[in-house]
Chains A and B, each alone.
Chain A
Amino acid sequence: MTLSTLGYASVIAALLGAVVMAVAGLVGGYRDRPALRDAARRASYFCFFAMSSAMLIMEIALLSHDFSVDYVARVGSRETPAYYTAISLWSSLDGSILFWGWILSGYAAFVAFVRRRGADRLTPFVTATLGIVGIFFFGLLVGPANPFGLVVPAPANGPGPNPLLQNHALMGLHPPLLYLGFVGLSVPFAFAIGALLSGNLEAGWLRDARRWMIAAWAFLSLGIVGGAWWSYEVLGWGGYWAWDPVENASFLPWLTATAFLHSAMVQERRGMLKTWNLSLIICTFLLTLLGTFLTRSGVLDSVHAFTEGVIGPLFLGFIAFVTFTSLLLIVWRSDRLHAKGTLDGVVSRESAFILNNLVFVALTFTVLLGTGFPLIVEAMRSERISVGPPYFNMVATPLALALLFLMGVGPALPWRRMSAERLRRTFWMPTAVGAGVSLVTVALGVRQVYPIITFGLAGFVLATILEEFRKGVSARRRISGGSPVRALLDLFARNGRRYGGYVVHTGIVAIAVALAISGTWKTEREVTLRKGEQVKIAEYTVQFEDVWGREESQRFVVGVTLKTWRGDRYLGEQQPRMNFYQSSQQPIASPAVVTSLTKDLYLTLMAFDSEEREHATIRVIVNPAVAWLWIGGLIVGIGALIAIWPHGRSTYRPELALSLTADLIASPDAEAGPGTDTGATEEEQEQVATRGLEG
């Protein structure tokens, strides 16, 4: 048995498992047969087992340089270090799909496992939906994207992975995160389709879907930030986000997923937006497929590349199938999708969420339009145009600022409605803080409009968030006493979704501020230096020492040694390099970055004197505040973790409910909403809300 045969057999087994998941799940759910439901669940375990073995076999083949396996022959080489060989699993299309399929099977098994005890009708349909998605991906692996093909005779060596993928250790970090995010979005999708199939469209499925969505969203966020970090540390152009189609492909589902995380709360609280929420989940899933299609089919290089591969049309077919089926299901269940609640007041948290959705969807549309527009023009006019960063920055910035504004407004608004008096009371402080920050910015001599607005809004948002925490902490201390820190932890433990959400918002504010600063005050110069010569840029001094070359196993490296100072402080020797790979004509730059909380010194080697080694051309960039992008990303991740951290289901506590009800009675216009700032868990709030409204 060769690895090739074993691997292929595993993939076929996974495909069969997915078929069982789909059929047994659908029939078992529809006819309510426990035996079939169990079969669907076990099939998902089996699928995961089969895909894990396929993954393992591929890793063994890669690491043992078994070039008789097609994929290894295409991306492996004996010279590539083991680490890069292991991660070259995602350096090419079919390996990525194998990895994708493995994660999908993992999610499916995990969902089936955590829901194994309940006899609800939803789970088998969720498993069935994931099975159908699995059939598509495993089918690709069995057919056109088979990585396990047998190569006879096996070549003695291969070309190695794409140079960009073996240039920096960070390549092992963000792709898995992105895949966990991308594939994770199939789970809420499966819940949506499962809810439609089962016909039970009450809020239960939504709560579960939202939880899974937060998990996938967190991975996706970390993946996007990680990708930006990789781009910054590896590509050597001094930026972190280029509005490249690949980046946009990861950003689009993130946008709709974020929109859903907010609008889902409106449905949970008010029974509204049922069809809208289903559509957002389905669109998010479709955008992951579309993103994969756009970036993997070669269609973006030219419309005409599309017909050359089989993968492109297959993806398009699956996208059409998912769209059509989902629409059909929504129409079929439309009688159960009527809104129960209504909007009580225009100034309310639900309005803020709805506006947030408008902006998120507009932003999604714009990014999608910009990404696809060159294709549209080429198809219609056979004329080529480019849509790049200047366009996206121009269009996306105002929308992003609108979102930042809503981020400050939403949390401070109560559900249902708010009186003008209370509106004033709530917002004068944050507004004053925001206006103050803007004024100080202007006073400091800043004349650029966007930074002034961004800083002001950041102050506004942070002020509302701090105020929310202050209210929450003092309410908890009123109920249970204890130190502020203890009360804060209690707040996170008892209502992680809300307060974790605020932590996420804080991270987003950090990112917004970092974007505004680094986008506005980047200084860069390109200089040619002789040995011993210095250049000063901002408060940094760079002195050129030497050019050197070094043979490494898979590449040839040319670097320069630079001495660097910030003011009088010596920052050590930096070595920006150019890496020459056999498989690439252009060298891959490898910048040297000296990071600090305020500014980064970013050095790229642009050209060097190969004869005399006397001089070199270096681009020196001073990039302010970039570190806060990564810190912000980390804060977002922590916040999301708090939001999904499982907390024990709270028991009903009458004394708390009593005090909440008393609050409610004390404010008969209900403008505060039940339990707005008492720090009660959601279950408690809901129990009380129900009673309060009935009473």
Chain B
Amino acid sequence: MLMAAVILAANPVTGAPRPQDREPLSPAEVDQLTAEVAAQLRCPVCRNQAVLESSSGLARQMQTVIREKIAAGETPEQVKAYFVSRYGGWILLKPEPRGINLLVYLLPAAAVLFGGAVLFRQMRRWTGSVGSEEPAPEPPDEALSEEEEAWLRRQIGSAR
């Protein structure tokens, strides 16, 4: 806690140069962006709380820093990058999507795709074995068979 406070104190807000081409933000916009950034940063002295939600002294100070930086015209990305440079990637509640962290984003998608593929095959096997006694209610709608597709291509080709 003390360490963290010292780090913060030793790096006073320098007021990054504001890009010239941007309008100054309205107070409401500053509030909103501050809350957005504060929700993405971890309170370093709490157990699993975002800066936005924590009432600890350090989190309040961090929120003040965020507000000042946003008001000075920094983008949320710049503000987050500032805190990452101070505390490391650990400070972000949503890990940066690079390196090994990509796994935490890609694996769920891969799991859905893989599960879906397995299920699709299994469904085809299940529905496929019915045929003998009862007629299948309706032909599968979407996909064309290979022959059909080849035939279609030939037709299109010859029409040109």
Contact = CB atoms under 8 A, between A and B. Distances in A.
Contacts of A362: 108, 111-112, 115
Interface of B: 31, 35, 39-40, 42, 47-50, 53-56, 60, 88-95, 100-101, 103-105, 107-108, 111-112, 115-116, 119, 123, 126-127, 129-130, 134, 136-138, 140
Interface centre among B93, B101, B105 (most CB of A within 10 A): B93
Contact of A387 (B93, B111, B126, B140): B93
A358 B129 contact: no
B95 to A, nearest CB: 5
A344 B131 CA distance: 9
Contacts of A239: 53
A237 B115 contact: no
Contacts of A385: 89-90, 92, 95, 101
Contact of A391 (B55, B104, B134): B104
B39 A390 contact: yes
Interface residues of A, number: 55
Given A237-B54, A369-B107, A420-B138, A354 B123 contact: yes
A395 interface: yes
Given A237-B54, A244-B48, A388-B48, A344 B112 contact: no
A237 B39 contact: no
A287 B119 CA distance: 23
Given A384-B88, A385-B101, A391-B94, A669 B137 contact: yes
Nearest to B127: A343
Contacts of A268: none
A345 interface: yes
Contacts of B111: 361-362, 365-366
Contact of A245 (B48, B93, B95, B136): B48
Contacts of A358: 112, 115-116, 119
A41 B112 CA distance: 44
A343 B88 contact: no
Contacts, number: 122
A386 B116 contact: no
7 contacts: A244-B48, A358-B112, A358-B119, A383-B88, A420-B138, A524-B35, A669-B137
Given A244-B48, A377-B100, A395 B127 contact: no
B42 A365 contact: no
Contacts of B103: 373
A531 B140 CA distance: 73
A666 B128 CA distance: 27
B93 A386 contact: yes
B135 to A, nearest CB: 10
Contacts of B116: 358
A447 interface: no
Contact of A419 (B35, B42, B53, B138): B138
A387 B115 contact: no
Given A342-B130, A345-B137, A586-B56, A387 B108 contact: no
B9 to A, nearest CB: 19
Interface string A159-198: 0000000000000000000000000000000000000000
A500 interface: no
A384 B93 CA distance: 11
A238 interface: yes
Contacts of B123: 343, 346, 351, 354
Nearest to B40: A390
Given A385-B90, A385-B92, A391-B104, 5 more contacts: A238-B53, A358-B119, A384-B89, A385-B95, A418-B137
A394 interface: yes
Interface string A339-361: 10011111000010011001101
Which 5 residue pairs across A and B have the least CB separation, nearest first? A388-B93, A343-B126, A237-B53, A390-B94, A366-B108
Nearest to B134: A344
A93 interface: no
Contacts of A370: 104
A419 B104 contact: no
Contacts of B112: 358-359, 362, 399
B54 A361 contact: no
Given A358-B112, A586-B56, A390 B88 contact: no
Given A342-B130, A361-B115, A369 B50 contact: no
A410 interface: no
A256 to B, nearest CB: 14
A343 B130 contact: yes
Nearest to A239: B53
A604 interface: yes
Contacts of B88: 383-384
Nearest to A245: B48
Contact of B60 (A343, A377, A386, A606): A606
A669 B92 CA distance: 57
